[in-house]
């Protein structure tokens, strides 16, 4: 990812989905671009680039974060979790992903990774949400395809399942 | 949309941050949560030559409470206001308003100081801080000074901050004795949007139920949060719904109400008056119950 | 049928859920360059001078291209479809000497990184002579095209019977003026392309986030002077379309041009602000409608005149206003109708269909008319509708109006509209809710129930294609000329093929949106993909199955009647140890001699050419409450009853309906494209153009009826746009009910806060904030 010689390059080390990765970045490189262009983790998508749609949501130190509003250089030393890491190392799906499939909670799939990451973080802190609470938690993630109903149902299903199993490492 | 190039610094101490501001002046922008600044940078509406990232200045992230007085470092995340029990007990108005600031992602990263320094006229925190009569501690390499919240906001996206100053700490005094209550009400087009208009209030009653303290702030209606003068009318009496509604209307009349794509000034005037009455009413009810 | 009708879980989900989708922005080729576009800041201007040298000199920049560099490619696109009344104009890959809307692309900058390209774009200097622009539909506005001084792109009148006589004879007459505002499809993925020219093969490969890859191929071949076989266009995973990706855009030819010119792959990804400016929009119309009716609420005559904003160019001709005009009577029997419009140019981004395509406007008009008639006659709104609906025994019902393609009339082929409405009313417990609402209103609450019906035009031609093949390894592949933007065609088309072939959907790989898969294709829009695409797949799969049986019988030396199929294996029923698999049959067919009596290959390419459109129908009921202070609308309940023919996958259909309703809610209450007097977009980002979020969309109750279409082999009808069509109408109906007789009438969409406030009756309790 080269460009004009911007200011100094910064070396960063990030724990991405549990494994360390390093990069040398210009200051203005967005975290989303670091993930997608440098590291080929294209599961995180850019829908608006001004912090409104939530498609770019990843976890930074466990918090749902719009990766279009964070510079790569800012996550040096941080943990970043993306949708590619949700299913862990096995062949199966994370319970939330399974619930999404079972409920037809995705159509084009573009907003889905951002929604999954938002819900993973939310459900860890709120294991027994009401439907209204889930809708409010999702209010920062736009979906144009589904009308949200199946997403909400899937989230409620996953909350129930989650109360019965431990979250993945 | 990608930002224009800039030089980046991530100081670890307040002093280092202030040195950078002193050196670069208005060529520099402070980066806190980035939820307001980075969209503008991505859209190239602002192009700072220097970005001073405050997120590594851990000293700015502290929450302290003693005897009901709350001290918030400017880098305290907005989500902390919702989660920290000290905020809930010392400044419940902040705990009530916080969940309405943007969305989960906004509040995970966005900071108290960042919202105050950005001074969007429809933002919740500036108004709440004025209602709470908070004091802001501003620091530069030259000096430190304190500024009352009500004197800090100077118009549309404008504050009392000098180019080499940063907002370091927000001090919220203990609630007025003996019986205090808060109220908050806003109308937004969608959950988490900036308010079309809103109001927050703090009221205190004495043992006889007479109002001894009343602060009402209306936001989203003008260029910035407006501290109403009309609350003087309720001091010295037991608040009634009729009086509070009157105060609400009079408070709105003090404001040069703006119009934009989302609402006319007539809309804002009507709704602001109603929300002001609601906020005052809730504050009075809570004070009664205290 | 085993799989058609099944709530089959989607095959595409595992990769989409795990971040392994491949959208055009995810495609990275060696040596790939990044393009950004400079767009006009003026609604109407002459381009006097372009100084690209500082941009060209910027580090990392490989080229800057303006109209002058386009050469033979610098000409206007053809218009699809033509119409006798159309005075049309289409855009070129870049603006030439004039720009005609804010956002029209003027230059392309190509660099080693997107960051460098944007930096260089800032250095471009364009000198404009700013000209007055047409920002109104009123006559006398500045001309958008020099040869069309009155800005009229077309005038059309559709009629049945003598409406003037019928209005004169009608016992009662009433009129309405209605306005609908502009909006856009706004998929979550913006547009984008990656183009790669392979000089050694003479082959251009283009990945496009598009609904119409075959049409893009055609335009590229035409403008870049290539043979169609030299151009392959692939729609990879596409993050939503909704019409925003329906036409062939300038960029769809420009980016391939750049790749060929520079002999390196080029990627262009539209950003959201660009999408707000340059992706096509729709809906804006102003209607004056007059209805003649009797005391029983029966509609006798309907005359509608409207002006349609078509924007600066007409890439889709008069399609949108023709759809509005021709679908005006909707599901109702009206003997005398006249529907006429003027489509006018403005200096704004062009108008082409987005989800609903002119039909939401028609539904809004006719449903407002029905509510008006109910009010005037003192009758219940649902009863008035029942009295006027086309009945099952009337089918097929010729509305008497020409359809938008000019291929005949709008003929409702099948359905039972009164039953659909009754089911919606039952599902919603309409009578009880109406009574509750009336009771609540008497106590000062603003609670209301609304109802709206629709028919939807679906399954339009000219054709769709499918190729089904079994290869020598036994893999079954079905290629379709449709493309996918989230509607689950990888699964639904596999369900169709699986039933025909006797296998499971997991055994069939469906590939859509690739011009290398099928030579001819039309694309996904107008609720046609499952109907026309599914029908073609069924035909091709049937052929393959028939051929497989024939070959199996030969191979096993038995009669076809003695074959027993279990999945991919055909056995001799009497001696089942003798069997043959699809793979073996494919190998057999691969070496077919004349003696075998069949042509080589276990495959078939078939087309389905519908003889007419097939019409879905439905009814929605909504329960709303308005806040007495802010007039904000809360949707407390939402019930859908619909008939979309045979459903291939009811789970997917529910998703389509829910998504369609959400988009309709956006267009009714939140989304408004507004321009200022200079043609600058006021709602230029997601800060101001508000899409519905999870807190804005209610939980919906959906009831399916299935009247099979007589017009295709499986009885299918489309449903992709159904959810959207009646939403503004049903919300208008509910809001009017909620504000009561002393409140205002809903005559425009969308309804933002100020407009809602204007509807409230005076002197409400709680309107000053008191509890």
ipTM metric: 0.97
Query: Among A86-95, A122-131, C41-50, whose mean pLDDT is lowest?
Result: A86-95
Q: Which residues pair with B201 in a beta bridge?
A: B183, B216
Contact B123, B115 (CB under 8 A): yes
> pTM above the 0.90 mark?
yes
Domain-terminating residue out of C587, C608, C629: C608
User: Could you tell me the fold of the domain covering A95-164?
Assistant: DNA polymerase; domain 1 (1.10.150)
C249 CA to chain A: closest CA distance, Å?
A: 20
CA C96 to chain centre: 30
pLDDT given at position A167: 53
Domain-terminating residue out of B53, B68, B84: B53
The residue in chain A having the minimum alpha-carbon distance to the alpha carbon of residue B101 is: A140
Q: Which residues in C lie closer than 8 A to residue A134 (C-beta atoms)? A: 694
Domain-terminating residue out of C543, C573, C608: C608
Contact C216, C523 (CB under 8 A): no
Q: Is the residue at C218 inside a domain?
A: yes
pLDDT given at position C767: 75
Domain co-membership, C310 together with C368: yes
Q: Is the residue at C174 inside a domain?
A: no
Residue B82 has which token pair?
Answer: 């919702």
Q: Which residues in B lie closer than 8 A to residue A10 (C-beta atoms)? A: 8
Q: Which residues in C lie closer than 8 A to residue B249 (C-beta atoms)? A: 768
Domain co-membership, C604 together with C615: no
Domain co-membership, C231 together with C292: no
CA C286 to chain centre: 22
> Touching check for A26 and chain B: CB below 8 Å?
yes
Domain co-membership, C215 together with C253: yes
Question: Parallel, antiparallel, or unpaired for β C45-51 and C125-130?
Answer: antiparallel
Residue with tokens 């027994």: A128
> Touching check for C274 and chain A: CB below 8 Å?
no
Domain co-membership, B69 together with B100: yes
Question: Parallel, antiparallel, or unpaired for β C203-208 and C125-130?
Answer: unpaired
Is the CB of A49 less than 8 angstroms away from the CB of B42?
yes
User: Using CB atoms and an 8 Å cut-off, which of residues 167-206 of chain C contact chain A?
Assistant: 185-190
Shortest CA distance to A53 belongs to which of A131, A142, A138? A142
At B169, give phi and psi (nearest 5°).
-150, 150
Domain co-membership, C309 together with C423: yes
Shortest CA distance to A161 belongs to which of A70, A108, A94? A94
Quick: pLDDT tens for B85-112. Answer: 999 999 999 999 999 999 999 999 999 9
Shortest CA distance to A111 belongs to which of A84, A81, A78, A148? A148
Is the CB of A64 less than 8 angstroms away from the CB of B106?
no
Span B151-166, average pLDDT: 94
Instruction: Give the whole-angstrom CA distance, residue A3 versus residue B107.
Output: 33
Q: Is the residue at C149 inside a domain?
A: no
Instruction: Please say if the pLDDT value at position A166 is more than 90.
Output: no
Span B138-155, average pLDDT: 96
Q: Is the residue at C25 inside a domain?
A: yes
Domain co-membership, C319 together with C422: yes
Contact B140, B115 (CB under 8 A): no
Shortest CA distance to C636 belongs to which of C694, C689, C699? C699
Instruction: Give the whole-angstrom CA distance, residue C465 versus residue C516.
Output: 12
Question: How many domains does the structure of chain B reveal?
Answer: 3
pLDDT given at position A2: 34
Contact C210, C483 (CB under 8 A): yes
Is the CB of B35 less than 8 angstroms away from the CB of A69?
yes
Q: Which partners does chain B have (≥3 C-beta pairs < 8 Å)? A: A, C
Domain co-membership, C114 together with C224: yes
Domain co-membership, C471 together with C564: yes
Beta-carbon count within 10 A of C504 CB: 16
Domain co-membership, C631 together with C703: yes
Interface test with C, best of A48, A105, A118, A152 (most C CBs within 10 A): A48
Residues of chain C with pLDDT under 50: none
In chain A, list all ranges with CATH 1.10.150.120: 95-164
When the pLDDT of each residue in chain B is averaged and rounded to a whole number, the result is: 97
The residues, any chain, with a CB within 8 Å of residue A90's CB and separated by 6 or more, are none
Band (A5; pLDDT cuts 50, 70, 90): very low
Closest residue to B5, CB basis, from A28, A54, A136 = A28
Residue A135 host element (H or E) = helix A131-137
Q: Which residues pair with C267 in a beta bridge?
A: C34, C194
Is the CB of C695 less than 8 angstroms away from the CB of B281?
no
Domain-terminating residue out of B119, B148, B172: B172
Is the CB of B263 less than 8 angstroms away from the CB of C696?
no
Domain co-membership, C309 together with C339: yes
Q: Is the residue at B1 inside a domain?
A: no
Contact C48, C128 (CB under 8 A): yes
Q: Is the residue at B2 inside a domain?
A: no
C754 CA to chain B: closest CA distance, Å?
A: 6
CATH of the domain at B103: 3.30.465.10
Beta-carbon count within 10 A of A86 CB: 23
Domain co-membership, B38 together with B141: no
CA A84 to chain centre: 9
Domain co-membership, C581 together with C443: no
Parent domain of B46: 7-53
Question: How many domains does the structure of chain C reveal?
Answer: 3
> Touching check for A162 and chain B: CB below 8 Å?
no
CA angle C68, C73, C76 (to 5 degrees): 95
Q: Which residues in A lie closer than 8 A to residue B4 (C-beta atoms)? A: 28
> Touching check for C597 and chain A: CB below 8 Å?
no
Q: Is the residue at C181 inside a domain?
A: no
Instruction: Give the whole-angstrom CA distance, residue C77 versus residue C84.
Output: 18
Q: Is the residue at B157 inside a domain?
A: yes
Is the CB of A50 less than 8 angstroms away from the CB of B39?
yes
Edge-to-edge strand list for the sheet holding C464-470? C508-512, C476-480, C464-470, C602-608
Q: Is the residue at C590 inside a domain?
A: yes
Indicate the CATH number of A10-85 among 3.10.20.30, 3.30.1330.90, 3.20.20.70, 1.20.200.10: 3.10.20.30
> Touching check for A156 and chain B: CB below 8 Å?
no
Quick: pLDDT tens for B187-245. Answer: 999 999 999 999 999 999 999 999 999 999 999 999 999 999 999 999 999 999 999 99
Interface test with C, best of A37, A86, A110 (most C CBs within 10 A): A110
Is the CB of B277 less than 8 angstroms away from the CB of C682?
no
Residue C107 has which token pair?
Answer: 């230059």
Instruction: Give the whole-angstrom CA distance, residue C503 versus residue C2.
Output: 10
User: Using CB atoms and an 8 Å cut-off, which of residues 597-636 of chain C contact chain B?
Assistant: 629-630, 632
Contact C30, C101 (CB under 8 A): no
CATH of the domain at C590: 3.30.365.10
> Touching check for B80 and chain A: CB below 8 Å?
no
By three-state DSSP, how is residue C539 classified?
helix
Instruction: Give the whole-angstrom CA distance, residue B115 versus residue C484.
Output: 42
Q: Is the residue at B234 inside a domain?
A: yes
A17's torsion region: left (phi>0), alpha (psi -120 to 50) or beta?
A: left
Closest residue to C629, CB basis, from B44, B189, B271 = B271
pLDDT given at position C596: 87
Contact C292, C169 (CB under 8 A): yes
Residue C586 has which token pair?
Answer: 């494919």
Q: Which partners does chain C have (≥3 C-beta pairs < 8 Å)? A: A, B
Q: Is the residue at C716 inside a domain?
A: yes
The residues, any chain, with a CB within 8 Å of residue C763's CB and separated by 6 or more, are none
Parent domain of C524: 464-608
User: Using CB atoms and an 8 Å cut-off, which of residues 474-513 of chain C contact chain A?
Assistant: 485-488
Domain co-membership, C544 together with C648: no
pLDDT given at position A1: 33
């Amino acid at each position: 990812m080269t460009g004009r010689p911007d200011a100094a390059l910064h070396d960063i080390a990030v724990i991405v989905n549990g494994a360390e990765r390093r990069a040398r970045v210009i200051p203005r490189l967005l975290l989303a671009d670091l993930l997608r262009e440098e590291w080929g983790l294209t599961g995180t998508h850019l829908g608006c680039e001004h912090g409104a749609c939530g498609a770019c949501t990843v976890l930074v130190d466990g918090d749902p974060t719009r990766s279009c509003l964070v510079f790569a250089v800012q996550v040096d030393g941080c943990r970043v979790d993306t949708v590619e890491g949700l299913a862990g190392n096995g062949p199966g799906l994370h319970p939330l992903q399974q619930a999404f499939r079972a409920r037809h909670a995705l159509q084009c799939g573009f907003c889905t990774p951002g929604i999954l990451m938002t819900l993973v973080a939310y459900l860890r802190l709120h294991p027994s949400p009401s439907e209204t609470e889930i809708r409010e938690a999702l209010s920062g993630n736009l979906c144009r395809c589904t009308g949200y109903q199946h997403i909400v149902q899937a989230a409620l299903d996953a909350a129930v399942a989650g109360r019965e199993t431990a979250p993945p490492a | 949309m990608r930002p224009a190039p800039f030089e980046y610094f991530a100081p670890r101490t307040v002093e280092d941050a202030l040195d950078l501001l002193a050196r670069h002046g208005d060529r520099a922008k402070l980066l806190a949560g980035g939820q307001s600044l980075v969209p503008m940078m991505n859209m190239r509406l602002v192009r700072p030559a220097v970005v001073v990232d405050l997120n590594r200045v851990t000293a700015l992230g502290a929450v302290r409470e003693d005897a009901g007085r709350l001290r918030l470092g400017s880098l305290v995340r907005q989500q902390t206001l919702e989660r920290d029990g000290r905020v809930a007990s010392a400044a419940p108005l902040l705990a009530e308003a916080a969940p309405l600031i943007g969305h989960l992602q906004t509040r995970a990263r966005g900071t108290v100081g960042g919202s105050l320094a950005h001074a969007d006229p429809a933002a919740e925190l500036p108004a709440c801080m004025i209602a709470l009569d908070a004091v802001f501690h501003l620091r530069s390499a030259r000096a430190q000074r304190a500024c009352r919240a009500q004197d800090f906001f100077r118009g549309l996206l404008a504050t009392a901050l000098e180019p080499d100053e940063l907002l370091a700490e927000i001090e919220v005094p203990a609630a007025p004795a003996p019986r205090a209550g808060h109220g908050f009400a806003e109308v937004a087009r969608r959950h988490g949007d900036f308010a079309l208009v809103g109001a927050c209030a703090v009221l205190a009653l004495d043992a006889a139920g007479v109002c001894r303290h009343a602060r009402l702030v209306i936001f989203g209606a003008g260029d910035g949060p407006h501290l109403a003068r009309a609350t003087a009318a309720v001091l010295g009496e037991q608040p009634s719904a009729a009086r509070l509604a009157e105060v609400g209307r009079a408070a709105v009349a003090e404001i040069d109400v703006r119009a934009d794509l989302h609402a006319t000034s007539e809309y804002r005037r009507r709704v602001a008056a109603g929300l002001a009455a609601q906020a005052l009413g809730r504050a009075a009810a809570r004070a009664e119950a205290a | 049928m085993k799989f058609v009708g099944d709530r089959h879980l989607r095959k595409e989900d595992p990769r989409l859920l795990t971040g392994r989708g491949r959208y055009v922005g995810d495609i990275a080729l060696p040596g790939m360059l990044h393009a950004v576009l400079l767009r006009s800041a003026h609604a109407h201007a002459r381009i006097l001078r372009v100084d690209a040298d500082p941009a060209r000199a910027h580090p990392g920049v490989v080229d800057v291209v303006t109209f002058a560099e386009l050469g033979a490619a610098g000409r206007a696109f053809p218009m699809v479809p033509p119409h006798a009344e159309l005075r049309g104009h289409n855009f070129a890959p870049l603006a030439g000497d004039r720009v005609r809307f804010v956002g029209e692309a003027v230059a392309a900058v190509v660099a080693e990184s997107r960051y460098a390209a944007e930096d260089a774009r800032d250095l471009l200097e364009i000198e404009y002579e700013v000209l007055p622009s047409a920002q109104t539909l009123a006559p006398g506005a500045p001309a958008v095209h020099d040869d069309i001084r009155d800005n009229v792109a077309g005038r059309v009148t559709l009629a049945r019977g003598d409406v003037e006589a019928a209005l004169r004879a009608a016992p009662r007459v009433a009129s309405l003026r209605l306005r609908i505002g502009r909006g856009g499809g706004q998929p979550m993925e913006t547009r984008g392309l990656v183009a790669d020219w392979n000089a050694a093969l003479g082959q251009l490969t283009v990945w496009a986030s598009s609904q119409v890859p075959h049409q893009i191929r055609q335009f590229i071949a035409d403008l870049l002077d290539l043979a169609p076989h030299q151009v392959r266009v692939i729609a990879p995973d596409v993050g939503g379309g909704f019409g925003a990706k329906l036409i062939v855009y300038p960029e769809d030819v420009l980016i391939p041009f750049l790749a060929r010119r520079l002999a390196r792959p080029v990627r262009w990804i539209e950003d959201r602000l660009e999408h707000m400016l340059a992706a096509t929009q729709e809906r804006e119309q102003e209607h004056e409608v007059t209805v003649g009716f009797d005391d029983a609420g029966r509609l006798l005559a309907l005359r509608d005149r409207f002006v349609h904003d078509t924007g600066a160019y007409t890439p889709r001709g008069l399609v949108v206003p023709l759809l509005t005009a021709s679908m005006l009577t909707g599901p109702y029997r009206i003997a005398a109708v006249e529907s006429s419009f003027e489509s006018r140019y403005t200096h704004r981004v062009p108008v082409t269909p987005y989800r609903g395509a002119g039909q939401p406007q028609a539904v809004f008009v006719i449903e407002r008319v029905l509510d008006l008639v109910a009010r005037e006659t003192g009758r219940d709104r649902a009863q008035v509708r029942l009295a006027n609906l086309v009945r099952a025994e009337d089918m097929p019902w010729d509305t008497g109006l020409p359809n938008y393609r000019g291929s005949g009339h709008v003929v409702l082929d099948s359905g039972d509209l009164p039953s659909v409405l009754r089911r919606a009313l039952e599902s919603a417990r309409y009578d009880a809710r109406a009574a509750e609402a009336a009771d609540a209103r008497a106590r000062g609450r603003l609670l209301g129930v609304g109802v709206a019906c629709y028919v939807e035009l679906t399954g339009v031609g000219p054709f769709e294609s499918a190729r089904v093949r079994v290869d020598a390894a036994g893999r079954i592949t079905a290629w379709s000329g449709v493309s996918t933007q989230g509607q689950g065609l990888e699964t639904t088309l596999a369900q169709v093929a699986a039933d025909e072939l006797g296998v499971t959907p997991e055994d069939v790989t469906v590939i859509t949106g690739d011009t290398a898969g099928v030579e001819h294709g039309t694309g996904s829009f107008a609720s046609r993909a499952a109907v026309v695409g599914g029908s073609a797949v069924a035909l091709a799969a049937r052929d393959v199955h028939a051929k497989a049986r024939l070959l199996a019988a030969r191979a096993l030396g038995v009669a076809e009647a003695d074959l027993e199929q279990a999945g991919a294996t055909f056995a001799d029923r009497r001696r089942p140890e003798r069997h043959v698999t699809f793979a073996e049959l494919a190998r057999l067919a691969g070496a077919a001699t004349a003696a075998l009596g069949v042509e080589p290959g276990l495959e078939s390419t078939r087309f389905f050419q519908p003889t007419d459109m097939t019409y879905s129908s439905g009814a929605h009921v909504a329960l709303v409450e308005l806040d007495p202070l802010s007039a904000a609308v809360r949707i407390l309940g939402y019930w859908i009853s619909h008939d979309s023919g045979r459903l291939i996958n009811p789970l997917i259909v529910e998703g389509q309906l829910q998504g369609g309703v959400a988009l309709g809610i956006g267009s009714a209450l939140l989304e408004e494209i507004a321009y200022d007097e200079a043609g600058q977009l006021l709602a230029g980002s997601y800060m101001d153009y508000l899409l519905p979020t999870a807190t804005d969309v209610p939980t919906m109750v959906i009831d399916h009826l299935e009247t099979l279409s007589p017009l295709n082999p499986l009885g299918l009808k489309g449903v992709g746009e159904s959810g959207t069509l009646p939403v503004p109408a049903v919300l208008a109906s509910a809001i009017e009910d909620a504000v009561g007789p002393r409140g205002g009438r809903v005559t425009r969409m969308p309804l933002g806060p100020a407009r809602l406030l204007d509807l409230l009756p005076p002197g409400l309790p709680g309107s000053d904030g008191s509890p």
